[in-house]
């Protein structure tokens, strides 16, 4: 798995599907800033299946991104395919207060 | 009490008899230990200590007594025994003590210990106590089996971070889910530790950060940034050293308390979120600061350690402790 961060987004009639690939850290800033603008629906699925390490800077960027999606797009965010480390990380840093976890 | 502390005397304070009984097997055999259950209020306590001419070098506090039952206790102890170190001890089966009061009282040592008379728990508690008495810093080698190889990776550029993490992951061999999880945790911890040294530690005279997170940068030889780790098949110990010594000891518990309480998803990357993550993922966090000279930040984690938000985790924050 490549460690550089990438985003793959697609939209159906009722939901947006966004896959985050690679490590999420300071280098992901530009792409995560643009993400809220790509949301068209009131439901957004984030797929972390191919996401790697997420450090504290990555957490800050995700929090900012999710907050913007909720406030500006009034959309519900669902996170899926999180590994156990990232699940705990999201739990302890409050990410799950902005997005629900599909197990 | 102005007389020098008696380095052969330790005081252990418990909430009640049941509490003291729970700790008895762990403290059994420690020389110079005086146990007190349900200590009286400050004036009577101070009077008693003076009349008995007791001036301990270390006060061990049960978390069943402080902070919840007696939040004022540490403030009182500090005024009675200004030279004593204070060690808060909590049993692994008990909840994590609320950190806000610990931050207010500048508690620097919290130890989580098993609640049974298992040798490892006894050893780790008694070793931590003796270390505090003689004021020596934690050593990475002490957490792994004797003879385990210590890897040392000095850093000269921020671009080395990924290679460093790859070599750490490679050293944690094994295909079991347990080892995979340990590799994930190790990689995250190494990332946070290196980022702290690269972007958190370098500060100007006015306290402002000199570099932005994620910025590519060369590391000056004077910065002496070095990452070390050792793995013995079960326990991983890691530490990062920087030659800045800018981490304020009193801020460490503040950061942990703020992040522990602030689960409301604060968006900005301020206030020590990285340090909080390191603490929560380690079994025990050690920080030794020589102000303006060096910060050593490290700790250990076991492959079998529980992965949850609730289990208590320990920390030790020392200033100017010197290796023996």
State mean pLDDT over A64-90: 95
Place B2 in a pLDDT band, splitting at 50, 70 and 90. low
Please indicate whether, in this complex, the C-beta atoms of A56 and B268 are within 8 angstroms of each other.
no
pLDDT at residue number B245: 95
Task: Flag whether pLDDT at B265 surpasses 60.
Answer: no
Place B62 in a pLDDT band, splitting at 50, 70 and 90. very high
Task: Flag whether pLDDT at B156 surpasses 60.
Answer: yes
The pair of structure tokens assigned to B277 is: 């993550």
pLDDT at residue number B270: 58
% helix, strand, coil for chain B, step of 5: 35, 25, 40
The pair of structure tokens assigned to B261 is: 């309480």
B308/B95 Cα distance (integer angstroms): 12
Task: Flag whether pLDDT at B188 surpasses 60.
Answer: yes
Task: Flag whether pLDDT at B322 surpasses 90.
Answer: no
Does the beta carbon of B163 lie under 8 angstroms from any beta carbon of chain A? no
Residue B15 or residue B43, greater confidence: B15
State mean pLDDT over A6-34: 94
pLDDT at residue number A2: 60
Please indicate whether, in this complex, the C-beta atoms of B269 and A97 are within 8 angstroms of each other.
no
Lowest mean pLDDT among B71-75, B118-122, B193-197, B243-247: B118-122
CB A9 within 8 A of CB A38: yes
pLDDT at residue number B268: 55
Chain A interface mutation, best of B168, B192, B265, highest count of A Cβ atoms under 10 Å:
B265
B121/B118 Cα distance (integer angstroms): 6
B227/B234 Cα distance (integer angstroms): 20
Task: Flag whether pLDDT at B269 surpasses 70.
Answer: no
Q: pTM for the complete prediction?
A: 0.92
Please indicate whether, in this complex, the C-beta atoms of A89 and B188 are within 8 angstroms of each other.
yes
The pair of structure tokens assigned to B190 is: 């190494």
Place B136 in a pLDDT band, splitting at 50, 70 and 90. confident
pLDDT at residue number B263: 54
pLDDT at residue number B4: 72
| CA contacts within 13 A on the Cβ side of B233 | 4
The single residue listed with the structure tokens 């100017």 is B320
Does the beta carbon of B273 lie under 8 angstroms from any beta carbon of chain A? yes
Give the whole-number percent of chain A exceeding pLDDT 70.
98
Please name which of A71, A9, A85 lies closest in space to residue A44, comparing C-alpha atoms. Answer: A9
Place B137 in a pLDDT band, splitting at 50, 70 and 90. confident
Please indicate whether, in this complex, the C-beta atoms of A85 and B184 are within 8 angstroms of each other.
yes
Backbone angles phi, psi at B77, to 5 degrees: -60, -40
pLDDT at residue number B241: 97
Q: Which residue of B has its CA nearest to A63?
A: B267
Min Cα separation A87/chain B (Å): 10
Beta-carbon contacts of B18 under 8 Å, excluding residues fewer than 6 positions away, are none
DSSP string of B226-284?
EEEEEE-SSEEEEEEEES-----HHHHHHHHHHHHH-TTT--SS-SSHHHHHHHHHSSE
pLDDT at residue number B279: 95
Is the peptide bond between A89 and the residue preceding it cis, with omega within 30 degrees of 0? Answer: no
Residue B3 or residue B2, greater confidence: B3
Task: Flag whether pLDDT at B41 surpasses 90.
Answer: no
DSSP state of B196: I
Chain B CB contacts of A93 under 8 Å are: 259, 263, 265, 273, 277
Give the whole-number percent of chain B exceeding pLDDT 90.
64
Beta-carbon contacts of B187 under 8 Å, excluding residues fewer than 6 positions away, are A53, B165, B168, B169
Task: Flag whether pLDDT at B115 surpasses 80.
Answer: no
Instruction: Return the SS3 of B58.
Output: strand
pLDDT at residue number B307: 81
CB A20 within 8 A of CB A5: yes
State mean pLDDT over A71-100: 95
Please name which of B282, B290, B292, B281 lies closest in space to residue B318, comparing C-alpha atoms. Answer: B290
Task: Flag whether pLDDT at B219 surpasses 90.
Answer: yes
pLDDT at residue number B3: 62
Place B46 in a pLDDT band, splitting at 50, 70 and 90. confident
State mean pLDDT over B38-45: 85
pLDDT at residue number B100: 92
At B221-232, the pLDDT tens digits run: 999 999 999 999
Instruction: Return the SS3 of B162.
Output: helix
The single residue listed with the structure tokens 């850093």 is B155
Min Cα separation A40/chain B (Å): 23
Chain A CB contacts of B267 under 8 Å are: 60, 63-64, 67
Average pLDDT for chain B: 90
Lowest mean pLDDT among B136-140, B239-243, B312-316: B136-140
Residue A78 or residue B251, greater confidence: A78
State mean pLDDT over B241-256: 93
Average pLDDT for chain A: 94
Please indicate whether, in this complex, the C-beta atoms of B213 and A85 are within 8 angstroms of each other.
no
CA distances to A37, B74, B105, B288 from B254, in Å: 36, 16, 10, 16
Task: Flag whether pLDDT at B71 surpasses 70.
Answer: yes
pLDDT at residue number B312: 86
């Amino acid at each position: 798995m490549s460690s550089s961060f990438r985003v793959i987004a697609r939209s159906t009639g009722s939901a947006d599907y966004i896959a985050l690939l690679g490590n999420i850290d300071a280098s992901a800033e530009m792409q995560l800033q643009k993400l809220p603008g790509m949301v068209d629906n009131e439901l957004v699925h984030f797929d972390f299946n191919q996401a790697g390490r997420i450090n504290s800077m990555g957490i800050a960027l995700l929090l900012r991104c999710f907050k913007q999606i909720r406030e500006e797009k009034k959309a519900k965010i669902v996170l899926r395919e999180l590994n156990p480390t990232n699940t705990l990380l999201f739990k302890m840093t409050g990410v799950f207060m902005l997005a629900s976890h599909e197990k | 009490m102005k007389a020098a502390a008696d380095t052969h005397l330790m005081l252990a304070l418990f909430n009640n008899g049941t509490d003291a009984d729970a700790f008895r097997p762990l403290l059994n055999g420690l020389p110079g230990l005086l146990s007190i259950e349900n200590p009286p209020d400050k004036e009577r306590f101070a009077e008693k200590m003076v009349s008995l001419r007791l001036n301990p070098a270390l006060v061990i506090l049960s978390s069943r007594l402080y902070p919840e039952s007696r939040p004022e206790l540490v403030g009182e102890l500090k005024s009675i025994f200004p030279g004593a170190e204070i060690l808060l001890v909590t049993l692994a089966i008990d909840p994590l003590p609320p950190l806000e009061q610990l931050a207010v009282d500048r508690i620097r040592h919290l130890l989580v210990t098993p609640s049974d008379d298992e040798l490892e728990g006894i050893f780790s508690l008694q070793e931590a106590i003796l270390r505090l008495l003689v004021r020596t810093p934690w050593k990475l080698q002490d957490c792994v089996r004797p003879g385990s190889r210590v890897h040392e990776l000095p850093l000269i550029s921020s671009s080395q971070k990924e290679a460093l993490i790859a070599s750490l992951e490679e050293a944690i061999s094994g295909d079991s889910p347990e080892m995979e999880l340990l590799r994930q945790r190790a990689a995250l911890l190494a990332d946070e530790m290196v980022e702290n040294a690269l972007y958190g530690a370098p500060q100007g005279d006015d306290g402002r950060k000199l570099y932005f997170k994620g910025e590519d940068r060369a590391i000056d030889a004077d910065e002496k940034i070095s990452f070390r780790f050792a793995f013995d098949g079960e326990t991983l110990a890691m530490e990062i050293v920087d030659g800045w010594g800018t981490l304020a000891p009193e801020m460490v518990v503040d950061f942990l308390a703020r992040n522990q309480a602030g689960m409301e998803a604060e968006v900005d990357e301020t206030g020590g979120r990285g340090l909080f993550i390191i603490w929560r993922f380690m079994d025990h966090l050690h920080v030794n600061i020589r102000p303006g000279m060096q910060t050593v930040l490290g700790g250990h984690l076991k492959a079998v350690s529980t992965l949850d938000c609730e289990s208590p985790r320990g920390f030790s924050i020392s200033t100017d402790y010197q290796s023996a």
